[in-house]
Amino acid sequence: MNINQEEKINRQDEVINYNLMLSCKRKVREARLILLAIALINVFGIFQGINGNNTVFTVIATIYVLTFAGLALLAGKKPRKSIIAGISIYIGFTLLAGAIYPPSLANGILMKIIIISALVKGYVASKDIEEIQLKLTEIEVKKQAFKQARS
């Protein structure tokens, strides 16, 4: 294989990895938006607790909202950790609510499946981003070595 062929292959590999990176970042962004949506939807729970003079419910809803809003913000810097925490907390709270009031498990089941599915896709994509970043770094190192060898 001559140098031009190797250079073309490296360029194609770089373009493929770059496109994969963009796709993964989009999925992580979607997961981040899901975390934020969970927080925003549950803001209504705070008002519901306040209107019903239920302090315990209001405090729990507030903690839930702040937790998911914080995870959404953290997902920008540490997507893997924040998304897996979001999945765990979401499933945990769903199961806890189901233990307290079993019909709540069936309420909005399709939405719960969509939320968990999007978060799992975001988590997998965040893992893939790290691997792709390593590949892109390796390609960049090869390009630098190739440029130095040519000069």
What does the pLDDT look like over 15-34, one tens digit per residue? Answer: 887 888 888 889 999 999 99
| pLDDT bracket for residue 151 (50, 70, 90) | low
Percentage of residues of the chain with pLDDT beyond 90: 46
Q: What's the predicted TM-score (pTM) here?
A: 0.80
- Specify the range with the lowest mean pLDDT, choosing from 55-59, 90-94, 120-124: 55-59
Q: Which of 76, 42, 80 is nearest to 61 (CA)?
A: 42
Q: What are the two backbone dihedrals, phi and then psi, of residue 29, each rounded to the nearest 5 degrees?
A: -65, -40
CA–CA dist 84, 89 (Å, integer) = 9
Q: What is the pLDDT of residues 75-86, one digit of tens each?
A: 989 999 999 999
pLDDT digits (tens, 9 = 90+) for 94-145: 999 899 889 988 898 999 999 999 999 999 999 888 888 888 788 778 778 7
Residues 6+ positions from 26 with CB-CB distance below 8 Å: 125
- The mean of the pLDDT values for the chain is 87
Give the CB-side neighbour count of residue 20, counting CA atoms within 13 A: 19
